[in-house]
Amino acid sequence: MIRNTVRALIIQDGRLLAIKKERPEVGVYYALPGGAQEVGETLEQTLQRECFEELGIDVAEHKFICIREYISKNHEYSFIVKEVHAVEFIYECRIKATDTFISSQADVGQIGTEWIPIESIKQSVSESDQISKPCKFPITTNDFLKEYFRDQGLELYRNTNYES
């Protein structure tokens, strides 16, 4: 079964808001907030719900930036979830002012949220050695962030086909 999912790219003051996760088999890693679309929900409603569930925040503005396909069996965490085939819709988001994040329904393995400096992300996504990375992302997220931050813009997505 193929499912639609959304991901939020929330950047503010030179930092990216990420979900911090930990799994015994993987260690600590980061993911973009988001999740699966429910029946009867628009993608924008899914984005709002997922950001509220995982981050405890309301999305004030959002702009669709790209689609990427994710097939779990083709990636490094396939031993965790083997049968996921998702079409991910990624949105740049702005959030309403908030002091704290309170997750109402944290994901499995979610241990918190973190504002990661963009410079740390750029260093992480360009490092091939997992040990020297300031922050670890799954390969598909790593590749997306590498392309996104290469020129700080979206021009790269206009004529590129991303496959997983």
Residues 6+ away with beta carbon under 8 Å from 89: 4, 5, 6, 7, 43, 64, 67
pTM of the predicted model as reported, rounded to 2 decimal places: 0.81
Residue 142: both structure tokens together = 């790593």
What is the dihedral sign for C-alpha 118, 122, 123, 124? positive
Domains and CATH numbers, the chain: 2-157 (3.90.79.10)
**CA distance linking residue 29 with residue 21, whole number of Å:** 5
| pLDDT tens over the chain, length 164 residues | 889 999 999 999 899 999 998 888 878 889 999 999 999 999 999 999 999 988 888 888 999 999 988 887 766 665 566 678 889 999 999 987 655 566 666 777 888 889 999 988 888 887 766 556 778 888 888 888 888 887 654 443 444 444 44
CA distance linking residue 16 with residue 8, whole number of Å: 10
Q: What phi, psi does 115 have (nearest 5°)?
A: -85, 115
Q: In the prediction, which pLDDT does 162 show?
A: 41
Kindly state the DSSP code that residue 106 receives in the 8-state scheme: P
